[in-house]
Amino acid sequence: MRRIVVAGNWKMFKTFQEMVSFCCKLAGYASEFEELPVTSIICPPFPYLHTSVEIFSATDVHIGSQDVSMHDFGAYTGEVSAPMLISMGIEYSLVGHSERRQYHQETDIEINLKVKILQSTGVVPIVCVGEKEQQRDEGKTDEVVTSQLETIFADIDIAADTNLIIAYEPVWAIGTGKTATPEMAQDVHKLIRDWLEIRYNKTIAERVSILYGGSIKPDNFAALLAQPDIDGGLIGGASLDIDNYLNLLQTGIKIAQEGK
């Protein structure tokens, strides 16, 4: 059984004080549970990683970074490496977010290198894929997502016990209020799971969590989670507000407890 994942990607939002306030409230909620029934992940900006790990240290909330360098150490000004992340207790890292692709010209080949370095270091990659609006309009969604997966995982071995998360984030749905319908998202999630089975095997396909991302809000999350291959959400805007994030977490918990 895959655990439901409720992951917040804060992008470049929040002051330090706002981060502390949010994290203390979430830690207060999470401390009511010995173990949360869902996986709660927050991806704050880099400078806040250490403090957020400290705030959640006695809770079952996990911290992820929003990106990682494709190098392990070296003279790469402004970069943050996977060994640095793991040494700070960071358990997850986004890679290949469409905003990295769009504004920093990140390619699938670079994303492949980042996944490899994360895996060798022990940080769980959250690999983002997804088509642009024009590509969907031209009926190329499956082709685009498959091509991204083929390049990103070209020479990557995945063992049966490997932890890996894939996030399907249609670019046209990010920050636009235009959510994919649960059925549209499910179709692509199924495509990704089928691809994993062909590329690796059924055990791995059944194990990998596939998250949907793109204008998730408290009022549309339950319908997305009800789909068989949607294992959680990667949430931008709605994860910035503590009440919204707790609402999303509670939706995940309810579905986890009731079963799909």
Out of 44, 130, 237, 252, the residue judged to bind ligand 13P by CB under 6 A: 237
- DSSP code of residue 242: H
- Is residue 169 part of the annotated active site? The answer reads yes
For 185, the enclosing helix (H) or strand (E) is: helix 182-199
215 binds ligand 13P (CB under 6 A): yes
Question: Applying CB under 6 A, does 125 fall inside the site for ligand 13P?
Answer: no
User: Per the residue annotation, which of 97, 110, 131, 189 is the catalytic one?
Assistant: 97
| Terminal Cα distance for the chain, rounded | 11
Q: Rounded distance, CA 131 to CA 137, Å?
A: 10
Look at the block and give the residue holding tokens 């999630």.
Answer: 189
Nearer of residues 100 and 200 to ligand 13P, judged by Cβ:
100
| Of 164, 215, 224, 217, the residue nearest 192 (C-alpha) | 164
Task: Decide if residue 214 touches ligand 13P (CB under 6 A).
Answer: yes
Q: Which is nearer to ligand 13P, 204 or 238 (CB)?
A: 238
Q: Does residue 235 bind ligand 13P (CB under 6 A)?
A: yes
236 binds ligand 13P (CB under 6 A): yes
If you search the block for the tokens 């402004």, which residue do you land on?
78
Q: Any contact of residue 131 with ligand 13P (CB under 6 A)?
A: no
Site string for ligand 13P, 164-203 (x = CB under 6 A): -----x----xx----------------------------
d(CA 250, CA 68): 30
Q: Residue 181 gets which letter from DSSP?
A: P
Task: Return all residues near 91 (Cβ < 8 A) that are at least 6 apart.
Answer: 41, 62, 63, 64, 123, 124
Output 67 or 110, the one with its CB closest to ligand 13P. Answer: 67
Residue 126 CB, nearest approach to ligand 13P (Å): 9
106 binds ligand 13P (CB under 6 A): no
Q: Output 185 or 204, the one with its CB closest to ligand 13P.
A: 185
Query: Which of these, 50, 61, 58, 34, lies nearest to 249 by C-alpha position?
Result: 61
Is residue 9 near ligand 13P by the rule CB under 6 A?
Answer: yes
User: What burial class does residue 73 get, using C-beta atoms within 10 Å of its C-beta: 0-12 exposed, 13-18 middle, 19+ buried?
Assistant: exposed
Instruction: Report which residue's Cβ sits closest to ligand 13P.
Output: 236
Tell me, by CB under 6 A, how many residues bind ligand 13P.
Answer: 14
Decide whether 118 or 216 has the Cβ nearer to ligand 13P: 216
**111, 234, 249, 256: which one binds ligand 13P (CB under 6 A):** 234
DSSP-derived secondary structure letter, 172:
G
Judge whether 130 and 111 are in contact, CB under 8 Å: no
Question: Is 189 marked active-site?
Answer: no
Which residues are at the interface with ligand 13P (CB under 6 A)?
Answer: 9, 97, 169, 174-175, 213-216, 234-238
Catalytic sites, residue numbers:
97, 169
